[in-house]
Amino acid sequence: MRLRKIYDNWYTQTYIQLEIVKFLKERELAIFETFDNTKSVRNIKAHKLKDFHYWLMRYNFFERYYNVYYSLASFENGLPNFSPKPEERKKQTLEWNNNCHKYFQSYDLLLDIDAKSHEEMPIIHKQAKSLKTLFDKNKISYTLNFSGMGFHFILPYHTLSKNHNFIPADKGSIFAFAGKVMDKIKEKYVKNLDITVNDHRRVVKVPYSLAIYKPEDVYVCFPLSDDEFENFELDKMKPEYIIKHKKISFRGSLMRDGDGKIEEII
């Protein structure tokens, strides 16, 4: 089966695994089964490559087809070690879900510009261009990833005001602030911005993971350089093309560094 070959060939490459694990330090790993959501797992601690390998094997990663996510929040000392035993893990998960915000040390802002289908990518690309221009002009730090069905701008915690707390339901929380930022950006710049992705348990696709929609519809969640974004071509986001034509080792996030604050420009 073509998908099996693409999936296994991608995820068995050590240099790709190493790039993925870089994003998991002090963050939650979550794996969502593409064709059977009952097999999805959250609250995985995989801050090191050996831990990543362990959990891949534990959850039969190469017998299924998972989309791979990580948390926007980072945690003091990372995640606790959850039991692999289902009943014990269920209890630990409930307790952690209720209290995890107490251990937050940062929370990044996700701006998710989504297409309904790949035919809409030219429209989405144009909207993403206007947002990128705004951030570049105002020296906002961000990474820019192709998500598989659009673009993810991720603004690191230091671009946000520190006058916010991590209490989920509080009006003064960073999550409430993120919601206000999204509303303003959607109104002024990006019609197709998803404004529902600001909760404290939010996860996002890990860069260098695969975005699987159908057996014949597979892309890489890929950090884009300025040139790759400007001259974006959907076919060049397929794993077969990237593994042949792009240097992935040590590529990292391609962060644009700046000292601007998001609240100063909206």
Residue 1, pLDDT > 80, answer: no
DSSP 8-state symbol, 151: E
Q: What is the pLDDT of residues 94-110, one digit of tens each?
A: 999 999 999 999 999 99
- pLDDT given at position 223: 98
Beta bridge partners of 244: none
- pLDDT given at position 105: 96
- pLDDT given at position 39: 85
- What pLDDT band is residue 262 in, cutting at 50, 70 and 90? very high
Class for the domain spanning 2-264: alpha beta
- pLDDT given at position 172: 95
Ranking 72-76, 81-85, 181-185 by mean pLDDT, the lowest is 81-85
Mark residue 217 as left, alpha or beta (left: phi above 0; alpha: psi -120 to 50; beta: remaining): beta
Q: What is the pLDDT of residues 118-171, one digit of tens each?
A: 999 999 999 999 999 999 999 999 999 999 999 999 999 999 977 899 999 999
Closest CA to 206 of 226, 189, 220: 220
DSSP string, 34-55: SS-GGG-EEEE---SHHHHHHH
39 or 184, which is more confident? 184
The mean pLDDT value for 56-81 works out to: 95
Mean pLDDT of the chain: 95
Domain ranges of the chain: 2-264
Q: What is the pLDDT of residues 196-211, one digit of tens each?
A: 999 999 999 999 999 9
The mean pLDDT value for 160-185 works out to: 93
Task: Decide: residue 244, CB within 10 A, 0-12 exposed, 13-18 middle, 19+ buried.
Answer: exposed
Question: How large a percentage of the chain has pLDDT more than 90?
Answer: 92
Residue 237, pLDDT > 80, answer: yes
The mean pLDDT value for 228-244 works out to: 98
- pLDDT given at position 55: 94
